[in-house]
Structure 1
């Protein structure tokens, strides 16, 4: 179940996903250079279509869509990745403790996990956000992280329970290794693929959840993000007036980010389950079939 950077980079899908994510991160990191100026400044006419001056058009308020897209990537990517990491850390910690400890500890943590798991996640997010009113990126990150960890905890718990009775764990117990060392040195490295899958899935979910909350009006309208761009475009009836770029640009950013992360997730799935590697297997099968046919022809 272990994997390294080399095994990931050998996969074309993983390499393409990394290139996409790194390009988006570099764009967001160097936003002052890539798109200099204030993203909220009025620089053109209302709903001006894409042109040489404004490559992605303008909003109803005359703001440059390209500049908002680049600066908005900072908020959307940072909240998505930070929330995904928080979800993964929380779910992995709870799953490891429950799966290794067993007994009453497992029963209590499993009950808490199931209690959060059965609650519809998105309606709960909307309910919490409505009580909080207009919320900033940090509040959105906290709400998503505290309500989205059970799936990772369940997967980690089941895998930990399968590993805790393996020979290498039993040997570590017999020689008197402390529990924390067994968990972090013996068990955790065997969960790296599972944690990678959980992390990528959590980041995708966090970005979509943040965008949904902001699109519904629960985000801070003074903070530029892809979600607030969609919210403002909806309020200005961008589609009704034919300003497709006002909605299309942030939607494309979310889709491209999801594509990059999905390519990485497919790679983790293939590493965890070699049976999913149908492409190389089919290629080898066709190569062997052609070789056998040539041998038969030569034999005639």
Structure 2
């Protein structure tokens, strides 16, 4: 077997790396400004979107096709069967029907808290930082007060003081939103202070544009990836916090959520009795939905921090270069063997 010359071995990696870079850049088309704000589609992002879509679709549509989850039957703790897909509870209630309504309730709380927390953080963070002066100091002080207060104990105290008959879905959502916006507000304030001093914002202010238009047109589009990431994080935190409150008996009394399912499963001794079909499905829904939101949030982080995207691109180019180098080495080896056999 004929060995490659040192000159050939030296030029192969350089050529393959150049080919890998060209191949990676060849498939990249110019992207519009709005397209640059969207995360690049990756297998992890696709998996996250699929998980979120399937669970959201289940929570939105399944309640219309299942039976009444509150109907009591004389077939308590029956395992999954053809009649009851996920078995029954201790009082004979259908677990699959409860899961459908509970998923909808948890998604509603997550969506409400996500919207409210994002609006509060944007108001106190973006508006205060843009106005500056006394307004910024007052908003910053208000945010710091909520930031230093322990979140979960405050939620437990507020929920404990609310009467049980008034502790509905909206009440729990408002409590969670009030206690979960301060950290996001600090991040938005720092980003707004950085953007406020840029040339295009200063040009808009000098040209006589009003503050609401400058915020909406010049500042807010640059903060959309941060707002999206904070919204996703608020939804995850809200669903987990609501599940914790419901498990402690402080959840919504007139609504069904995944947390209330776990609460009643624990009170019904589902784990000691081996009724896994009662507590595993709601816990699995929470875990999978949180996983999907986390994967989407990781993809949004690439927009906020371009270094993460550059690392992924370098890894892709390195894999392409390794494949091209292997193929080039194999071709050179075959060519050298053919020349040796002819000589």
Q: Which interval holds the TM-score relative to the shorter structure?
A: over 0.9
1:281 match = 314
Alignment partner of 1:41 is 2:71: yes
User: Which secondary structure state, in structure 2, belongs to the residue aligned with residue 14 of structure 1?
Assistant: helix
Report how far residue 214 of structure 1 moved.
1.1
Aligned partner of 2:283 among 251, 267, 270: 251
Aligned partner of 1:230 among 256, 259, 262: 262
Q: CA 1:232–1:91 in 2, change beyond 3 Å: closer, same or farther? A: same
CA distance in 2, matches of 1:82, 1:220: 14
User: Which secondary structure state, in structure 2, belongs to the residue aligned with residue 246 of structure 1?
Assistant: helix
Aligned partner of 1:138 among 142, 153, 170: 170
1:153 match = 185
Report how far residue 145 of structure 1 moved.
0.9
Q: CA 1:279–1:173 in 2, change beyond 3 Å: closer, same or farther? A: closer
User: Which secondary structure state, in structure 2, belongs to the residue aligned with residue 8 of structure 1?
Assistant: coil
Report how far residue 206 of structure 1 moved.
0.7
Aligned partners of 2:51 and 2:289 also within 8 Å: yes
TM-score (norm 1): 0.92
Q: Give the number of aligned pairs.
A: 298
Aligned partner of 1:97 among 124, 127, 133: 127
Moved over 3 A (4+): 2-9, 277-280, 289-300
Report how far residue 25 of structure 1 moved.
2.1
Aligned partners of 2:39 and 2:302 also within 8 Å: no
- When the two chains are superposed, the root-mean-square deviation of aligned CA atoms in Å is 2.1
Aligned partner of 1:70 among 65, 75, 100: 100
1:87 match = 117
2:3 match = none
1:112 match = 142
Aligned partner of 1:178 among 210, 215, 233: 210
TM-score (norm 2): 0.81
Instruction: Using the TM superposition, name which of 248-257 and 284-293 deviates more.
Output: 284-293
